[in-house]
Amino acid sequence: METADNIGATFRVLRKERGFTLKEMSEGIISYSYLSKFEKGETQISLQNFIQLARRLNMTVDEILYFSKSKMINNVAFFQKVSMAHSKRDLPVLKNYLHDEQRLFEETNIDYHKYNAIMLAVTIRDIDENFSIEEYDPNVLVDYLLSCYFWSTYEISLFGNVLPIFKKDLLIVLLKETEKRITEYRVLKRNYRELIRSIENACIIFLRRKEVDQAEYLSEFLETITERSYYFEKIRKLFIDSVIKLAQEDFEEGEREARQVIATMAVFDEAFAKNHALELETFLEIYKH
């Protein structure tokens, strides 16, 4: 049996991830002060009240209990590992991750592992066209993302990893939903930049695959949501736009602008600039030869 302090602390993290204040979460269910004490591990809570609170989070009691026992609440590292393996086209690693998520779903019946497995399967398919994804329906991920009232770190990370698997019609649906959530403040400010970076990563992947229309569509969307103070994100978008010019056979202008952007990056972060210099060489190889 989980202790009240473990569950309460987990609940607090999930509540804040989904953008609820103590007042918003407790209203009509329990008192503000009682919920605060529960989150601090100072008191227990009735099952009936816990079920109502879980519903407000758009989660089940089992999911919250599972989160309290696992390290899955720190899921950003998991998605970063997947993204890294994808960029390296490391099929053995991705298949190991897929096997682990399938096993965890079978053991726990927690839907997050099912979503992770689908995401991994379509990522593998992107590298290996012979890999069958018949048992993995990507639309399940779209349905899940559209059903969530609030996108936490998990949903933002999932969104960023699945964007590159969709064609333009589904991209439009997801990005309209994204714009709506940003407008309605259903993406936390600290997750907002992660969302922008996820879309930029998707642009890069589309450009590597020569799917220029999708990359251009995403770049236009980024123009509407990237705040002026987000310097790194704005600089990276300029790099993306220069590569789009390369893809459209404006080689001289595209390469010139890309190298200017990389020089600007070097002023702020030399490693960041070096990574993009290598990326540029890859794109020159793709589009000029």
Per-residue pLDDT of the chain (289 residues; tens, 9 = 90+): 344 457 888 899 888 878 789 999 999 999 999 999 999 888 888 888 999 999 898 888 877 877 776 545 557 778 888 888 887 889 999 999 999 999 999 988 888 899 999 999 988 988 898 999 888 888 898 888 888 777 777 888 888 888 877 777 888 888 888 888 777 666 667 678 888 988 998 899 889 889 999 999 999 999 988 988 899 999 999 999 999 999 999 999 999 999 999 999 999 899 999 999 999 999 999 998 7
Q: What does the pLDDT read at residue 1?
A: 39
Give the integer Cα–Cα distance in Å for 200 and 218: 8
Contact assessment for residue 8 and residue 65, using Cβ atoms and an 8 Å cutoff: no
Q: Is 187 helix (H, G, I), strand (E, B) or coil?
A: strand
pLDDT of residue 114: 93
What residue spans define the domains of the chain? 4-69, 76-226
Tokens of 283: 């794109």
Under the phi-then-psi rule, with left for phi > 0, alpha for psi from -120 to 50, and beta for the rest, what region is 142? Answer: alpha
What is the structure's pLDDT at 166?
Answer: 78
Q: Name residue 151's beta-bridge partners.
A: 187
The predicted structure's pLDDT at residue 5: 53
Q: In 3D, which of 226, 227, 235, 284 has the Cα closest to residue 264?
A: 235
Which residue reads 């302090």 in tokens?
5
Output the pTM of the full model.
Answer: 0.69
The residue assigned the tokens 């509407």 is 224
pLDDT of 185 reads: 62
**Which CATH topology does 4-69 take?**
434 Repressor (Amino-terminal Domain) (1.10.260)
